Amino acid sequence: MKRNFVVALSLVVLLVAAACSTTNSTAAATGTVTSVEGNTVTVAAADGQTITYTLTPATHVYNTSGSKTSHSFLTNGQRVMVWSKGENAVRINVAS
């Protein structure tokens, strides 16, 4: 009986921790890179609005095959999805 309680409690703690960690970052709409300058990247959404994100050492960029790559991989015209915390990009997936 105690074992079931401990397992259930552990599961609840893990679920709460996972929910808390994902609420700090939001997924931006898929867009197209329009500018890469220094430590910033500007992305135009489908509705034409542009958002400029700051690239930090904690920003992870993934290429089209899903492998982690460097910030210098980003170029104009690429389709991307950006997860961010405020104006700081946390993760960028390059689609094409």
Residue 9: CB atoms within 10 Å: 10
Residue 45 lies in a domain: yes
Domain assignment of residue 61, yes or no = yes
In a domain, 4, yes or no: no
Report yes or no on 3 lying in a domain. no
Specify the number of domains making up the chain. 1
Percent of the chain with pLDDT over 90: 61
Average pLDDT, the chain: 82
Residue 46's domain comprises: 27-94
- What pLDDT shows up at residue 86? 87
pLDDT at 66 over 70: yes
pLDDT in tens, 4-49: 655 555 555 555 555 545 445 676 658 999 999 999 999 998 888 9
Task: Report the CATH number at residue 44.
Answer: 2.40.50.320
pTM for the whole thing?
0.70
CA gap 81, 90 in Å, rounded: 11
Beta strands in the chain (DSSP E): 26-27, 31-37, 40-45, 50-62, 68-69, 79-85, 88-94
Tell me, yes or no, whether 59 lies in a domain: yes
Q: Which residue's entry shows tokens 């700081």?
A: 88
Q: How far apart are the first and last CA of the chain?
A: 53
Give the mean pLDDT of 41-69.
93
Q: Specify if 21 maps to a domain.
A: no
